[in-house]
């Protein structure tokens, strides 16, 4: 009897720890190990809040949590990424150069915006935070980040 109670308690704890976040559902990272998985969040000062974009080949998800609740949050919106959009974006990515970037800005500390980007490929994950594409550290990935920002703007503008 004691073993059954312990087992039920363990199952309850595991389900509690793996419960979904009601504010944002991430795309699963269950893509092929050779595929890229890109996660971003952009946080801005005052009441702008944080927007989230997860993207992989063929699909993406977006949401926006407004900090002061002056605007209604944008719940998770899933949308498609075409093969052409994906291949053009990934063609601009130098993952080796991306992994070498050590940049952690804090423009949000002065009411600006910071973007955190994390890319996973073949079990390797690297992230950094930037506030402007003009940062010297970004020279080798600037074209990729600019293309990513354009794609993000095109795909998410309708949600606002």
H or E, element range at 39: strand 36-44
The 10s digit of each residue's pLDDT in 67-76 is: 888 889 999 9
Confidence class for position 141, pLDDT limits 50, 70, 90: very high
Q: What is the DSSP letter of 71?
A: S
The 10s digit of each residue's pLDDT in 8-58 is: 444 444 343 333 333 334 444 444 556 899 999 999 998 899 999 999 999
Report the percent of the chain where pLDDT is more than 90: 70
Q: CA-to-CA distance for 65 and 18, rounded, in angstroms?
A: 21
The confidence score (pLDDT) of residue 1 equals: 64
Q: CA-to-CA distance for 76 and 153, rounded, in angstroms?
A: 16
The confidence score (pLDDT) of residue 22 equals: 38
Domain residue ranges in the chain: 24-159
The answer regarding whether domain 24-159 maps to CATH 3.30.1560 reads yes
Look at the alpha carbons of 139, 141, 147, 150 in this order and tell me if their dihedral is positive or negative.
negative
Q: Are the C-beta atoms of residues 87 and 152 closer than 8 Å to each other?
A: no
The confidence score (pLDDT) of residue 118 equals: 98
The confidence score (pLDDT) of residue 100 equals: 97
């Amino acid at each position: 009897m004691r073993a059954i109670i312990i087992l039920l308690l363990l199952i309850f704890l595991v389900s509690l720890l793996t419960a979904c976040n009601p504010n944002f559902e991430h795309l699963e990272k269950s893509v092929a190990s050779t595929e890229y998985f890109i996660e971003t969040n952009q946080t801005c000062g005052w009441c702008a809040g944080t927007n989230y974009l997860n993207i992989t080949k063929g699909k993406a998800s977006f949401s926006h949590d407004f900090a002061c609740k002056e605007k209604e949050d944008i719940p998770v919106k899933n949308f498609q990424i075409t093969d052409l959009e994906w291949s053009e974006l990934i063609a601009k990515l130098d993952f080796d150069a991306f992994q070498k970037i050590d940049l952690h800005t804090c423009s949000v500390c002065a009411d600006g915006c910071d973007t955190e980007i994390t890319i996973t490929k073949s079990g390797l994950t690297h992230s950094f935070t930037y506030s402007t594409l003009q940062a010297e550290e970004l020279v080798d990935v600037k074209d990729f980040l600019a293309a990513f920002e354009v794609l993000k703007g095109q795909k998410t503008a309708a949600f606002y």
